[in-house]
Structures are given as structure tokens and as C-alpha cells.
Structure 1
């Protein structure tokens, strides 16, 4: 458990280095993990490493060599979110308000490069800071992608605002189809209600690095990210949560020329900060995106 003022966070290094919960003065900011849950998808947030989102059918090629990743998401046809979220992390150091976690990958048939992922989690009385790094410990360049997958609590009056330049429309199995204007499915450049009865599962490109969540109970959360030019928005219909995932690349980027290659000994980083405050004065509500 980490504490700073009224802000509290609980982690589970053994379950994907995930956050179990984040609360301010007893109010949940992220969807809390049910008691006894062991599925990383039930956690409040988890890191995405060494890639984010989907790799089509788990197949990719580097330098002419083809690889097959496990299909790690039930009956979904693609590999998703890397493998850091489905493996244990080790605590390297911790204090009352911060901790560092490490995960080493020794290389395998699906991802042959040995690497080290490190996660730093820190609290102040009004802020959660998360940083994630990935170091290539191998002898050849490796694909590298990073991200975070927080589940934000949402009530009927919760509004979301962010600026982006483009939106990726998806195929039925959630791979990118084509890039369109950022407001093609609704305009998030002004605060807009997040509740709705349709599925949103899309990546936004050219994201400014800032997103604002304005809750009906008066809590405001500002997300700021560095090293994350893409923002993935996931809103399942009828649920009291949604996901805002700051990520370093678009879905299936490894097969579409959009994945960074990390040289031997090189390190990639991504950081996310959640700043918590109050809404003053109350902003006018706008229509929800259904």
C-alpha cells in the first residue's frame, strides 16, 4: 500500500505489476479490483510491455525472420498488450509513497530478445506518477512498445476531453482499417459525456498528451503522458468505467511500419501522471457520444 495525504494506491507485483486500486479520501478514482481476483483484466491498471494493443494473429517479422506469439486473450484472434501484464514483477525497492518493480524476459520463441522492464510508481497528496522503461539486453535491435491501461471510474455525468489529430477506424476484429479525422465518431475536443450504449475501442493519433476527466461528484482528473503519441479509448457499453490508454504506437504497428526498433543496450520510456483536483466552477454539460 502506498499513501500520500488522502491519496492511496495498492499494487500487486505478482499479477502483472498491476495497480489494485487508487483512491482519494476513500473515493475510487480507478475501478477497484474485486477481492480475490487474479485476472489482470480485473485490475485497476496494468503496464503494457514490450508492445501495446494488438498484433494481428500474433504474427510478425523482423529482419526477414518470422515469429509467432501466443494468442493470449481467450478466443480473440490476435495477441494483445504484450506479455508483461500476464507475468509477475519483482519489487526492487519501496517506501511509504513509492515503489520500483522489475520484470526480466530471457527471450523465447515468440519474442527472442532478452529485455528488462522497470516500473516506478510514486504518489504525492494529489498525484499518481507512473513511469515505464524497457531495455534491450540482447545483441540485435528489438521492436519496442510501451503503454498503460488504466480503468477509470465513471458515473452518468462523467465527461472526457482531449485533443488529437486523427482516429483509426477498426475492422470487426479490431485491427486498424483506415485513418480519419479525430472527430469522425464524435468530438472529444470539448468535454463530452462518456456514458453510452455502444462500444468505443479506437486509437487516436497526434494526441496532445493531455486528457481531462470531469466527474459528476466534482472530482477532476488530468492525465498527462510523455512518450505516448497515441491514446486508445475503450468504452464498453453499459459499464461504470472506461479506459484511456497512453501508448507509444498504434495497433498492429509492428506489421505496418510504425514500431520503434530499440538497439542493443538501448532504453525506451513512457510516463503517465494523474493529477487529481476539484471542478471549480462546474463546467456546462455537453451531449454524450452514444
Structure 2
């Protein structure tokens, strides 16, 4: 599907953020004091409505992969639609592939929401509300998912932000703490848990793994600025993705392990009818000291 995508702008003296609610509730670009904090969406990809090339998109009601789109829950067996071309698994939930409706929007903050009815992509009803707000040098993302079904349901959430790598200007380093790294097999599914690797510069790193026991805090030192990330307690894991030869990496705070519905810990939350799960991700920018 192609065509113009309506963009909503948030801004203050420090931040300029553009959001595309109709394109999966995604952030198109986010600049701080003239610099790209998140990977900006190329114009051609925006015109093509390619949400996976945006700066950041929501992960709801699950993160990462569900093996081959199949899982058992509550005594029933479910088969999901494989929602990306050439992908044998269901991946990243349903929120990034549908339009979000805009609620409050005052130029410094905005809210948007979706209501999902059971279908081939996900068999349980839910509502999700996403918020974005800027204040000073801080950008805050919030999300709440509510089980609107008549039965208990597994639920998860998170974000998939992409950060640019400016290798010509210098190195980018990620500093954080986590307890274990999930190794992936040939199907990109967790197969073992090991002690985490101490990464050097992300510019020379190739990685696509989920890390559990995440501290909820991280520092990203780029050649231009420092990004301090803080996440709420619900975001117990982080996925680090840096493909070879690409000028970006993704650092994804999420609520559960990859393929959690097949026994990987930590599991997805199970919400009773009417129960909600909330999470928050905060990015505060700092200028580099000389």
C-alpha cells in the first residue's frame, strides 16, 4: 500500500519528533538539538509505507518471534498468520501493522490507541494505548495493553527503536547490565542461555540476541551525544540487533524473552479479563563534554 502518510509533530527547544499514527503508530524521526537520535525514515520508505524502515515502532501484544506461528495456551492450540514476507514465524505482534487513532495531542505530547478483535494474527481481544511526550531533553514513551477478552490471555509489549551509527565521526558504545544472553539457532529462535558478551564498539559488532535479567538502564555514547535510557520494571529484557554492514543498531526494551510462548524465560504476562500491563521507556539526551 502506498500513498501519503499524515505526520504529527512534537517539538520544544531541544526535540523535534514526527509520528505516523496511521503507519503502525511509528516514530518517523526524532532529532535532538539538530542531530538524529533515532534512524530517520527514508522518504522513499515512508512513501511506500514501510513501517520496518521507520525510526521506532511499538511491539504489542508480543515481542520478536513466536516459533512458526504456533503455540499452546489454556488447553488450546493456536496457529497464527505469518505476518512478514519470507518469515516462517509470527513476529513483533500486530500493533506495528495497523493504524492507531489519535487522542490527545498538544504539540508536546500525544496519545493514540488501537482496539484489536481476535483474528488470524492474534486470537485474543485487547486494547493498547501508546503515549509520547517531550519535556526538556527527555523523550518518554509509554504503553498500556488491556485484556478486553472474556478469557485470560498472554500479553507483552515493548519498542523497536533504531539508532544511527556514524562510523566516520567515531565509535558508538552501549553500556548496560544484563544477566544472560539467549543464543539463537538456525531458525533465529533461542536455544540456550549463556553469560552475556562484553561488546566493544557497536560499529564493529554483529549481533541479534535477546538479553534477560536486564537492569532497565543503559547508556549509549555516540560521537555526537549521550543517550541515557531508563525503562520501567515491566521491561525485563532487551534485544540488541546490529546487522553486518548496516549503519544502525536496534536496542529494544521488551517485557519477555524471544519465543516466550515456547518456554523461554521470562514468560509473557498472563492478564485476566480487564487486567492491564503498562511500561515506560525514557530517553534523556546529554551533550558531550570536551
Q: CA deviation at 1:199?
A: 3.2
1:176 maps to 190
User: 1: CA distance between counterparts of 2:160 and 2:24?
Assistant: 12
User: 2: CA distance between counterparts of 1:111 and 1:21?
Assistant: 29
1:35 maps to 43
In the superposition, relative to structure 1, how do residues 220 and 6 fare at CA in structure 2: closer, same or farther (>3 Å)? same
1:250 maps to 2:261: no
- Asked if the contact 1:67/1:110 (under 8 Å) is kept, the reply is no
Q: CA deviation at 1:109?
A: 4.1
- Asked if the contact 1:5/1:124 (under 8 Å) is kept, the reply is no
2:269 maps to 260
In the superposition, relative to structure 1, how do residues 238 and 98 fare at CA in structure 2: closer, same or farther (>3 Å)? same
Q: CA deviation at 1:125?
A: 2.3
2:231 maps to 225
Unaligned 5+ residue runs, structure 1?
A: 282-290
Q: For 2:56, what is the secondary structure of its paired residue?
A: coil
Q: CA deviation at 1:138?
A: 1.1
- Asked if the contact 2:60/2:157 (under 8 Å) is kept, the reply is yes
- Asked if the contact 1:30/1:150 (under 8 Å) is kept, the reply is yes
- What does the per-residue CA deviation read over 1:119-150, in whole Å, with 9 as the maximum and x for residues that have no partner? 01001120110001100111110110101000
User: 2: CA distance between counterparts of 1:143 and 1:181?
Assistant: 28
TM-score, normalised to structure 2, is 0.91
User: 2: CA distance between counterparts of 1:260 and 1:35?
Assistant: 37
1:6 maps to 2:14: yes
For 2:23, which of 1, 15, 18 is the aligned residue? 15
2:209 maps to 202
Q: For 2:219, what is the secondary structure of its paired residue?
A: strand
- The Cα RMSD (Å) is 1.2
Q: CA deviation at 1:110?
A: 4.4
1:277 maps to 286
Give matches, 1:96-175, under 5 Å. Answer: 96-156=107-167, 157-175=171-189
Q: For 1:242, what is the secondary structure of its paired residue?
A: strand
User: 2: CA distance between counterparts of 1:239 and 1:200?
Assistant: 12
Q: For 1:149, what is the secondary structure of its paired residue?
A: strand
1:211 maps to 2:211: no
Deviates more, 1:52-61 or 1:110-119: 110-119
TM-score, normalised to structure 1, is 0.91
- Asked if the contact 2:116/2:125 (under 8 Å) is kept, the reply is yes
Unaligned 5+ residue runs, structure 2?
A: 1-8
User: 1: CA distance between counterparts of 2:141 and 2:120?
Assistant: 30
Aligned residues: 273
User: 1: CA distance between counterparts of 2:176 and 2:84?
Assistant: 29
